[in-house]
Amino acid sequence: MSAGSGPGAARVQSPGRSLAGNVAFGAGLLLVLATMTLGAYAGVALALGLAGDSFLSSAVPGDGRNAVVVGGIGAGGLTGLLLPLTLFAAVRGTEARPRLGPGEALLKMLGVLVLAVYLLIVSLLAAQLGWILPIGLVTLLSVFLVGFSWVPLALIPWERFGLGGIGGLLGTSRGPGGSGKSD
């Protein structure tokens, strides 16, 4: 039996972790979850306002309002998730992943807002099913339509358009000679 491998062995903290680092990570995680949740609520309020009190109110049937809510959750939650991550990437960097410059951070946030508007448009299209289908089926279909509508956008080779760093926030961008895997 080797020393230090049994149940009574002392646990040694790895040299890369500290209590302050763990607390900072926990605080950052809580901040991201809070902004994502608040963004989803704000997206629902915006989407319901679009469906109820605006020029789009006649275009959204009563059985399609839940589809608009699903789009609001997606758009607001995505924006609330990626806003603090972009801000963190703009102020903190490493040698492997340098800080974002103001222009690149702005480009990423504009991309997130375009994607949020895209999700709202998809939800408005899914709401049109409310003219012919019952509310429960429209809600179910809208979750799949809004939830998977971004997949074709993920398959576009953004590097050919000069937008190769779009996946950098989530660790999926490929640098020169990179494999796309995060360390």
What pLDDT, on the 0 to 100 scale, is given for residue 61? 80
Are the CB atoms for 79 and 112 separated by under 8 Å?
yes
Would you say the C-alpha torsion 79, 83, 85, 90 has a positive or negative sign? positive
10-42, pLDDT tens digit by residue? 555 556 678 888 888 898 889 889 999 998 899
Mind listing the pLDDT tens digit for each residue in 57-75?
A: 777 888 888 888 888 888 8
Query: What is d(CA 39, CA 46) in angstroms, rounded to the nearest whole number?
Result: 10
Backbone phi, then psi, for 98, in 5-degree steps?
-70, 165
**77 class by beta-carbon count within 10 Å (0-12 exposed, 13-18 middle, 19+ buried):** buried
pLDDT tens figures, 80-96: 888 888 888 888 877 78
Instruction: Tell me the pTM.
Output: 0.70
**152 has a pLDDT exceeding 70:** yes
Domain spans of the chain, in order of start: 36-149
